[in-house]
Amino acid sequence: MTPNAIAENFNTTRQAVSKHLHILTECDLVRQDHQGREIYHSLEINKMKEIDKWLNQFRKIWETRFNQLDEVLLTIKSNKK
Protein backbone atom coordinates (compact mmCIF):
# COMPACT_ATOMS: atom_id res chain seq x y z
CA MET A 1 0.00 0.00 0.00
CA THR A 2 1.04 3.60 -0.43
CA PRO A 3 1.38 5.88 2.61
CA ASN A 4 -1.78 7.72 1.50
CA ALA A 5 -3.76 4.48 1.31
CA ILE A 6 -2.53 3.44 4.75
CA ALA A 7 -3.31 6.85 6.28
CA GLU A 8 -6.89 6.64 4.99
CA ASN A 9 -7.45 3.64 7.28
CA PHE A 10 -6.30 5.47 10.41
CA ASN A 11 -6.94 8.79 12.07
CA THR A 12 -3.51 10.14 11.14
CA THR A 13 -1.68 12.02 8.43
CA ARG A 14 0.31 10.67 5.52
CA GLN A 15 3.41 12.32 7.01
CA ALA A 16 3.00 10.40 10.28
CA VAL A 17 2.49 7.15 8.39
CA SER A 18 5.60 7.87 6.30
CA LYS A 19 7.70 8.36 9.45
CA HIS A 20 6.52 5.02 10.83
CA LEU A 21 7.13 3.29 7.51
CA HIS A 22 10.64 4.72 7.37
CA ILE A 23 11.50 3.17 10.75
CA LEU A 24 9.87 -0.15 9.84
CA THR A 25 11.82 -0.17 6.56
CA GLU A 26 15.09 0.47 8.42
CA CYS A 27 14.27 -2.54 10.63
CA ASP A 28 13.59 -4.68 7.54
CA LEU A 29 9.99 -5.25 8.64
CA VAL A 30 8.56 -3.44 5.62
CA ARG A 31 9.73 -3.54 2.00
CA GLN A 32 9.46 -0.63 -0.43
CA ASP A 33 8.65 -1.20 -4.09
CA HIS A 34 8.93 1.77 -6.45
CA GLN A 35 6.38 1.74 -9.25
CA GLY A 36 6.61 4.93 -11.24
CA ARG A 37 6.06 7.87 -8.92
CA GLU A 38 4.42 5.73 -6.25
CA ILE A 39 6.13 3.81 -3.47
CA TYR A 40 4.29 0.72 -2.29
CA HIS A 41 5.00 -0.84 1.08
CA SER A 42 4.49 -4.43 2.09
CA LEU A 43 5.19 -6.44 5.23
CA GLU A 44 8.12 -8.80 5.42
CA ILE A 45 6.17 -11.73 6.84
CA ASN A 46 9.21 -13.84 7.73
CA LYS A 47 10.67 -11.00 9.80
CA MET A 48 7.33 -10.57 11.56
CA LYS A 49 7.31 -14.30 12.35
CA GLU A 50 10.80 -13.95 13.86
CA ILE A 51 9.56 -11.18 16.13
CA ASP A 52 6.49 -13.17 17.12
CA LYS A 53 8.66 -16.15 17.99
CA TRP A 54 10.97 -13.96 20.08
CA LEU A 55 8.04 -12.26 21.84
CA ASN A 56 6.35 -15.57 22.59
CA GLN A 57 8.87 -16.37 25.32
CA PHE A 58 7.95 -13.12 27.08
CA ARG A 59 4.23 -13.51 26.41
CA LYS A 60 4.14 -16.59 28.66
CA ILE A 61 5.88 -14.70 31.45
CA TRP A 62 3.51 -11.72 31.11
CA GLU A 63 0.43 -13.95 31.16
CA THR A 64 1.65 -15.68 34.33
CA ARG A 65 2.37 -12.36 36.03
CA PHE A 66 -0.98 -10.87 35.03
CA ASN A 67 -2.75 -13.95 36.37
CA GLN A 68 -0.85 -13.57 39.64
CA LEU A 69 -1.80 -9.90 39.77
CA ASP A 70 -5.45 -10.80 39.22
CA GLU A 71 -5.30 -13.18 42.17
CA VAL A 72 -3.72 -10.56 44.42
CA LEU A 73 -6.30 -7.93 43.42
CA LEU A 74 -9.16 -10.36 44.02
CA THR A 75 -7.74 -11.18 47.45
CA ILE A 76 -7.44 -7.50 48.36
CA LYS A 77 -10.94 -6.81 47.09
CA SER A 78 -12.46 -9.69 49.08
CA ASN A 79 -10.60 -8.62 52.24
CA LYS A 80 -12.08 -5.11 52.01
CA LYS A 81 -15.65 -6.46 52.19
**Domain boundaries of the chain, sorted by first residue:** 1-43, 45-81
Architecture of domain 1-43 in this structure = Orthogonal Bundle (1.10)
Summarised one tens digit per residue, pLDDT across range 45-56 is 999 999 999 999
Cβ 16 vs Cβ 7: under 8 Å: yes
Q: Stretch 5-34: mean pLDDT, rounded?
A: 94
Rounded distance between C-alpha atoms, residue 72 and residue 74, angstroms:
5
pTM of the model: 0.65
Summarised one tens digit per residue, pLDDT across range 57-81 is 899 899 999 999 999 999 998 988 7
Q: What is the DSSP string of 12-36?
A: S-HHHHHHHHHHHHHTTSEEEEEET
Residue 38 is given by DSSP the state E
For 21, counting Cβ atoms within 10 Å of its Cβ (0-12 exposed, 13-18 middle, 19+ buried), the class is: buried
